[in-house]
Amino acid sequence: MGAKKIFLFILFLTPFFAFRDADLRLARKNPFRQGLNTDGDVYIIIVKSDYELKVFDKDGWYATYPVVFGNKSLGDKMMEGDRKTPEGEYHIVTKKPDAKWDKMMLLDYPTKADYAKFNDRKAKGLIPKNAKIGNGIGIHGTWNHDEIAIDLYQNWTNGCISLKREDVEELYNLLPIGTKVIIQK
């Protein structure tokens, strides 16, 4: 390969690697905190428009983790199969290892509030009369070796919240069953 081709090859790849390094999305932790205080209420706020999951305890903000969702529209879940992540207040009801996504923390979707929104949307004709509400929404990791989806904001789930494997393992060990999860636009 000639010097000119090598130069062009390096010139072509430089922006790609510079972009990846500059846009790497990492968990951020409160530098003034020693650890999560599980003596009181621990809760999560997920802000879909910011692609972030924030953990709080009685002492305040503990950490922020990058996440992705289902549908690119980031709208509220309307019905089963729309790949949208629901908005509202939920709780972690089950925690278990998962062969595909490392760890899974299942949420109590759908709630009474979700059924009310769903039935109202059906009555207004916003969704088909034969639509179903869906279920199985949780917080989990990525496919093995596919964490770049988080770095590149690639929404890929069927409505769940996906974190990097390292982050979901940390949260899995920190958060008790019953943890409140608030999902916002």
Predicted confidence (pLDDT) per residue in 97-127, tens digit: 999 999 999 999 999 999 999 999 999 999 9
34 domain residue, yes or no: no
pLDDT in tens, 31-65: 999 889 888 899 999 999 999 999 999 999 999 99
pLDDT-derived band at 145 (thresholds 50, 70, 90) equals confident
Q: Is the pLDDT of residue 19 over 70?
A: no
Residue 157 resides in a domain: yes
Q: What is the pTM of this model?
A: 0.85
CATH code of the domain containing 167: 2.40.440.10
* 12 found inside a domain: no
In this predicted structure, the answer to whether residue 172 has a pLDDT above a threshold of 70 is yes
Q: Return the pLDDT at 2.
A: 59
Query: Is 69 a residue whose pLDDT tops 90?
Result: yes
Average pLDDT over residues 147-174: 96
SS3 sequence, the chain? Answer: CCHHHHHHHHHHHHHHHHHHHHCCCCCEECCCCCCCCCCCCCEEEEEHHHCEEEEEECCEEEEEEECECCCCCCCCCCCCCCCCCCCEEEEEEEEEEECCCEEEEEECCCCHHHHHHHHHHHHCCCCCCCCCCCCCCEEECCCCCCCHHHHCCCCCCCCCEECCHHHHHHHHHHCCCCCEEEEEC
Looking at the predicted structure, is the pLDDT value of residue 13 above 70? no
Domain contains 151 = yes
Distance of CA 168 to the CA centre of its chain: 10
Q: Is residue 166 part of a domain?
A: yes
φ, ψ for residue 96, nearest 5 deg: -155, 150
pLDDT score of 15: 45
Output the six-digit token pair for 72.
């690119």
Q: Is residue 41 part of a domain?
A: no
For residue 154, give its domain range.
68-184
Mean pLDDT taken over the chain: 89
Total number of domains constituting the chain: 1
Tokens of 87: 């908005």
pLDDT score, position 104 = 97
The rounded distance, in Å, linking the Cα atoms of 104 and 139 is 6
Distance CA 12, CA 4 (A): 12
Average pLDDT over residues 135-140: 97
